[in-house]
Amino acid sequence: MENQEKKRILSMYQCTGTFTLGNYLGALRNHIKLQEEGYDCVYALADLHALTVRQEPAGLRKYTKEAYAWLLAMGLDLEKTVFFIQSQVPQHSQLAWILNCYTQFGELSRMTQFKDKSAKHADNINAGLFTYPCLMAADILLYQADYVPVGADQKQHVEIARDIAERFNGIYGDTFTVPEPMIPKHGARVMSLQNPLSKMSKSDENQNGNISVLDDPDTIMRKFKRAKTDSGSEVRFGEGKEGVNNLMGIYAAVTGKSYEEIEREFAGKGYGEFKPAVAEAVIAELRPIQERYRQIVADKAFLEETYRAQAPRAQAIAQRTLSRVMKKVGLVI
């Protein structure tokens, strides 16, 4: 295992479709902050994982580049952080095959995501969908990650990577750092604006429930004005007020105000004033990032030069681990 002065964090992001406000407030914004908190950060876009569901090729390339541009626009510092596209680092696929041979069928069959995606895509239950946890484990273990930031509902992904690492280490001696899930204590859990009992999702059939980070101000305002609340009018956090609770959570996340401060600010004003205020706060939060994003994504040469320059940095780290693994299992290197 590598000796690192800084603890290493590994996080990978989906690149199918535009990020939502939920992605931004719940994870992305906090991950960017970690680069300033003394961690050695390695981030990537998981385009190989996207192939478990049939993709339109031009769309996948487009969304991957746009996601890369968005994270740069948020302030990701490539002097402090490695940020690459997964498919440009072939060591991921190489290690994934080896880990396939150290992962049990029963472990894979119990994975929640396999069950969920199999139900949603019954016409395409492919082998990659079944073995994706081995690729995910390779993503993490290649970089000897100490921590993997995940939501509480994604802890299972890190647990199987830990099991695989411990099994391999038990057979061959210390090879992999056994990662720990990093579950944020403070992270906005943003729910659908139309169904506040469900998480905000880019796949929501009702697009009024989903705020894209690229939505223009008029669209953001319109969606918040249509947000479902309850039959009352008081801006107060409480049981049975899931819609208002969600809006208060969003407002708190972008303004830094406590729920008590929000309740005092809107005492006697009602939802008619509160909803536009939430929308304006979100618009103000996203505006400078959107402006930087448009500049970056328009400069195709800069964008391509940037992500291509990151691949060798990731490969250099990944190859050290892969070579060690290959040697230990008896492959000629």
Q: How many CA atoms lie less than 13 Å away from 313 in the CB half-sphere?
A: 17
The residues carrying an active-site annotation are 117, 199, 202
Rounded to an integer, what distance in angstroms lies between the CA atom of residue 252 and that of residue 259? Answer: 7
The pair of structure tokens assigned to 310 is 């990151």
CB count within 10 Å of CB 231 equals 5
Rg (CA), the chain: 21
Phi, psi of 259 (to 5 degrees): -60, -35
Are the C-beta atoms of 164 and 141 separated by less than 8 Å? Answer: yes
Distance separating the N- and C-terminal Cα atoms of the chain: 19
Are the C-beta atoms of 131 and 100 separated by less than 8 Å? Answer: yes
Which residue type, as a one-letter code, is found at position 196? P
Phi, psi of 191 (to 5 degrees): -100, 165
Q: What are all long-range contacts of 201-209, with beta carbons under 8 Å and residues at least 24 apart?
A: 201/20, 201/22, 202/17, 202/18, 202/19, 202/20, 203/17
Supply the DSSP symbol for 231.
S
**Residue 2, Ramachandran bin (φ over 0: left; ψ between -120 and 50: alpha; else beta):** beta
Rounded to an integer, what distance in angstroms lies between the CA atom of residue 28 and that of residue 33? Answer: 9
Rounded to an integer, what distance in angstroms lies between the CA atom of residue 330 and that of residue 333? Answer: 9
Rounded to an integer, what distance in angstroms lies between the CA atom of residue 264 and that of residue 13? Answer: 38
The pair of structure tokens assigned to 117 is 């995606």
